[in-house]
Structure 1
Amino acid sequence: MLLNKRIHIGKKHFSLAALCACLLIILAIGVRFIFILHNWPPTNSDEAEVGLMSLHISQGRDFPFFMYGQAVLGSLEAYIGAGLFLLFGPSIPALRIGLLLLFVIFLILFYLLTKRLYTKGLALLTLFLLSFGPIESLSRSVLGTLGHAETPLFCGIIVLLSMHLALLSITPYRKMTTFQRRKCFTLYALWGVMSGIAIWNDALSGSFILASGLYIFIFCRQTLRPIPIGSVLLGLCVGVLPLVMHDVLLPYGQAMLSNGQHSLDVLHSLTHRTQAMSMLQRWKEGFLVSLPASTGASGICYIQPLEAWPLSPHSSPYVRQCTATHSIWAVIVAAIWFIAIILEMHNLYQLRKTTYGQPASTCDRTAQKMVVHGARLLLLGAAGLVWLVFSSTRVQDSAWSTRYLIGMVLATPAMLWPLWSQLTSGLERRRQFLEKRGLQILCGIVLLMFTAIQVKGTIHAFSQFPGGMPLLGQQNALTNTQQNALTNTLVRLHVKHLYTEYWTCNFVIFFSHEQVICSVADTNLHRGFNRYTPYVSLVEQDPQAAYLFPTGAPQIPKLNAKLAQEGRKYQVTSFEGYVLYQFTSGGTTQVGKVCE
């Protein structure tokens, strides 16, 4: 095969597949590095919060186990960002470079996993597709919003460890050498450690952990002895140590970092169903909106999540047409998923039948094939479980919550395999191609279409330079340049404390290096969702704290009525699409304008 050809570079020998993989990884890095240099996508309040966590860690002020105010997403990215802040200084690009490093490790791991489970050709195709993608996919690998970007990496490691354990367990435990037994104990311990870390990092990794656990129970029963099981439990305890320490230390300082939340309480609140939507409605939204958005359908046409669902008589023709297109995409994805599962189950059944009455050497080779097909089924089953858990819980309530489905990317090669295997078998065997020409041409067209959509999505993302578009539900998104200009104006006006809305607050604090401190006010001017409570007390203790809201925000009329009732004197200043209210000690109400 061409991909097995050896290439000579000096005294080194490399396979053509390995060189192509390196080039594709460099391509993926290059695409995302360009985005980082252009500050795309514009940062949001969640990413700025991670930046503040990294800033506090680098200064030795706080050492959080979870994201501020949300004890369910691990703080690994913040600690990596803290190290980069010490090297390059605090900035959004420095924070995103840490995420890029994790993404590179994931690509390498994913190539090795796909090559082991399938073929080098499919591994390269998967790398190519992951190098590109629509806006949602690219933003998830660039925006530093904690937890979700690392999920595919940790889950991929868990799957790889599970497969190695299954291959090792083909040899009966009593026949293993001392080295094999030590390797077995080590792999079980590593599986436990990675599972614990994955749960701490993002609880939705539990779908892959459960599926991997079932896979190990089926394929590793010969090695499930007391010592290996003890190794798993010990590793699991080590992995979840940050989670346990957070809950134990909650009364002693961690409370202000997580709003007094126990991690299990937060997880329960997210997974507990509400009565706002029935289960059928949740599944319908998850299938028609979330599934296509998370699998690349936005490359065909892009709509804001809040516009996509629910549809109403006021929805524009474009929104209706795009939602219908996304629905067709979801049906195609689900059909391919079902076909892939049926094929793998059929393969396992056929392999199981061939083991009866066969010599030990043949049974071992068959067992190795069963381990591989079982791992493929593991990827498909875990991806389906991720979607089912997501669509059945409160996690889906937010319009931008499709980021929770990021773990489904691991099933990409498993979904492509039925198409790829049909296409390549026809290309390699002329007679088979002539017999199934129509099916193989159809598979080739579907693969080509999917690839073109991914590339088109990346081109659309590049078209956003140098501006940007609202992401993650932001209705008043600013470019990073505008965010910096807004923050610099506040500093120049000597504003130290203010009330504002959620999507503005944290980036103002981060870009001002905490020269400006704010507290979130909801639409009724009451205390809103503040992730870091020490900021709230600083603002509430200042009677002269200003108010800052985007032009046209619902808080502005209520603030005007409140100030008129109180009779307080203030000055109104407009700049960068915002309205600033500053209180004065005397005189009358003034309205001014700062040049933008």
Structure 2
Amino acid sequence: MPTLLALLVGFAGVGYRLALLFADVPPTNSDEATMGLAALHIARGDDFPIWFYGQAYMGTLEAYLAAPLVALAGPSVLVLRLPTLALYASFLLLSWRLTRRLGGDRWYALLVVAVLALGSDRVVKNQLIAGGGYPELNPAGAALALLTVGLCLTGAGARLPRWAAWGLICGVLLWVDPLILPYVLTLGALLVARRWRELAGRAGVVLTGALLLGAAPMLVDSIGHGRNPATAVLAAGGTGAPSDWADRLHGALVLGPSLATGFCSPGRCATWQLWWAVAFPVLLVLAALTAWHTLRRVGGGPGSAERVSAGVRLALLGGAAGVIAAYAVSNAAGQTPIESSRYLSCLAVALPALFWPLRQAARTLAAHRLTAQRQFAEVAASGEGGYRHPPEVESIKATGGRPAGRMARMAGIGALTVVAGVLGTGVAATVDVVRTAPDVHAEADRHRSLVDTLGALGVRNVRGGYWTCNRLTYATGENVVCAVVDDDLSPGFDRLPAYRREVAADPDAAWVAPVGSPLAARLDERVGAESGALDVVTVAGWRIYLPRR
């Protein structure tokens, strides 16, 4: 029964996200379009970029995954996101399998899948937007944890392929996005502690070779151009003046867990949705203590299933703590806590370990109740035929056959309350996404009208803001090329400098700006009847400025 329910819940989670994609949710942006342009260039054979255009970090794995679909169906947001939807589906499957391998029963695995099937605004953005570095992290992290369990339990002869897979995934992750690095370090430390003798032999060679293969794009580029991706990653942790530590801690410890786990409404966290900021660290500590106690208590060899489960759970919890710590020391946590909470997206990898205390408390409560019912039945049966019970039996009958301790009952009820809170808050945040879908779809329709109008006007080159340009260029399959300008009309940040050169060479290049934007207000000053002024065409929330000839 729980397996079937988990399958249905998983299909519901995937179906919900597929429906969002057809409704143009979550909203796309120019960063996602930049990955789309990379996929377009790969599909055409024009370019094979290693890094996200305009920077020396964040690998373009998503572009390579989408390139075959772009080649078949042409450029669109939907074809760009179908691979990320597949990555999400694989994450559900891997999380179910990981939970079971850790010793969780099917009902507990169902809980994990149910939580992951929900989708708040921040969660579906992390999972579906092909903007680089997020959709692939969670399935890769779950796969590493699952491989770690296998490497700790299986015989030596069956481990070499797992060592190769572990190294390959780590290498690819180092190229794509180092946000998952805390999990790599904690799971790797567990493997070193368990299999250090094996790693000194062939396994170490296989692991190293596979890791180098996975990281080959990064290594080749770094050696060839003398670039250090780590420097670029550190620089991306926030710009400008350093954030106040109070702001960083508020962003990382109060807003971060609630946003990343999927408990907040689009663009904001209501006060009642922040209860998870208290529950999360409590669960993290309790889960770590439970795993540590199991490691100290359980007998048998280091390869026993229960000890391996405890070790992997402890590694996952350590990885989650490391992710939060790394985020807390970054400027991004204080400067842009709502949007930057995407850096905590891989906290979901640790959910099978994080919820473990809830499982233990609920199981203890259920076991006590079952035992009490059996004892009461035995006592009641023994009372037939005028049999007089001793005082301790009379006590059991008087209490209704509930010998469970008060602490166990309180812990069990508390666990069920937290589970209800997790599911209830997640459902509320998911409903909020559905409510905003019509507005997001309407905005996407307005952008499609802009594309159609530019085509009808025969416009080939335009200038616009950063969040306009690459989105427009990708949507038109580079039939319209856009150069970025700031609100004061000065040149902006072009991730593909060739676009600026092409636009600069066109004397008839137009301008595009959203209605009511600062850029539109500045361009409106140049609209008039005099020679050299601009003519304006307004279409569905956009203004197109055409040079008068």
Smaller-chain TM-score range? 0.7 to 0.9
What is the aligned counterpart of 2:184 among 209, 212, 230?
209
CA contact (8 A) 2:24 2:440 kept: no
- Structure-to-structure mapping, 1:513-532, within 5 angstroms: 513-532=477-496
Shift of 1:336: 1.6
User: 1:336 & 1:391 partners in 2: Cα distance?
Assistant: 19
- CA displacement, residues 155-189 of structure 1 (integer Å, 9 cap, x when unaligned): 11112222222224xxxxxxxxxxx5443333323
Shift of 1:17: 4.5
Aligned residue pairs: how many?
512
Shift of 1:248: 4.3
Task: Check if 1:505 corresponds to 2:443.
Answer: no
Task: Check if 1:294 corresponds to 2:260.
Answer: yes
- Structure 1 residue runs without a partner (length 5+): 1-15, 169-179, 252-260, 309-321, 355-361, 470-477, 586-596
CA contact (8 A) 1:74 1:202 kept: yes
Residue matched to 1:268: 234
Amino acid at match of 1:66: W
User: 2:355 & 2:110 partners in 1: Cα distance?
Assistant: 12
Shift of 1:379: 1.0
For normalisation by structure 1, the TM-score amounts to: 0.80
Q: 1:268 to 1:452 in 2, by over 3 A?
A: closer
CA contact (8 A) 1:288 1:326 kept: no
Shift of 1:232: 2.1
CA-based RMSD of the aligned residues comes to: 2.5
Task: Check if 1:124 corresponds to 2:110.
Answer: yes
Shift of 1:151: 0.3
User: 1:515 & 1:262 partners in 2: Cα distance?
Assistant: 35
Residue matched to 1:569: 533
User: 1:272 & 1:84 partners in 2: Cα distance?
Assistant: 34
Shift of 1:488: 1.0
Q: 1:144 to 1:231 in 2, by over 3 A?
A: same
Shift of 1:41: 2.0
CA contact (8 A) 2:526 2:533 kept: no
Shift of 1:561: 5.8
User: 2:356 & 2:426 partners in 1: Cα distance?
Assistant: 18
Shift of 1:363: 3.4
Q: 1:481 to 1:271 in 2, by over 3 A?
A: closer
Q: Structure 1 residues 484-493 or 88-97, which shifts more? A: 88-97
Residue matched to 2:165: 190
- CA displacement, residues 330-368 of structure 1 (integer Å, 9 cap, x when unaligned): 1221222122112222222223xx4xxxxxxx4367x43
- Structure-to-structure mapping, 1:143-542, within 5 angstroms: 143-168=129-154, 180-248=155-223, 250=225, 263-271=229-237, 275-298=241-264, 302=265, 304=267, 322=270, 324-351=271-298, 354=299, 362-363=300-301, 367-396=304-333, 397-398=335-336, 399-430=338-369, 431=371, 434-435=404-405, 436-468=408-440, 479-542=443-506
- CA displacement, residues 236-280 of structure 1 (integer Å, 9 cap, x when unaligned): 1111001123334559xxxxxxxxx75333123225886421444
Q: 1:236 to 1:272 in 2, by over 3 A?
A: farther
SS for the counterpart of 1:287 is helix
Residue matched to 1:81: 66
Q: Structure 1 residues 328-337 or 191-200, which shifts more? A: 328-337
- CA displacement, residues 487-506 of structure 1 (integer Å, 9 cap, x when unaligned): 11122222221111122112
CA contact (8 A) 2:40 2:71 kept: no
Q: 1:349 to 1:222 in 2, by over 3 A?
A: same
Shift of 1:37: 1.9
User: 1:437 & 1:205 partners in 2: Cα distance?
Assistant: 38
Q: Structure 1 residues 442-451 or 85-94, which shifts more? A: 85-94
* Structure exhibiting the larger radius of gyration computed from Cα positions: 2
- CA displacement, residues 439-461 of structure 1 (integer Å, 9 cap, x when unaligned): 31221122012112222222222
Amino acid at match of 1:337: L
Give the percent of matched residue pairs that are identical in Structure 1 and Structure 2: 27
User: 2:190 & 2:526 partners in 1: Cα distance?
Assistant: 61
User: 1:568 & 1:274 partners in 2: Cα distance?
Assistant: 39
Shift of 1:204: 0.9
Amino acid at match of 1:183: A
What is the aligned counterpart of 1:63 among 48, 52, 57?
48
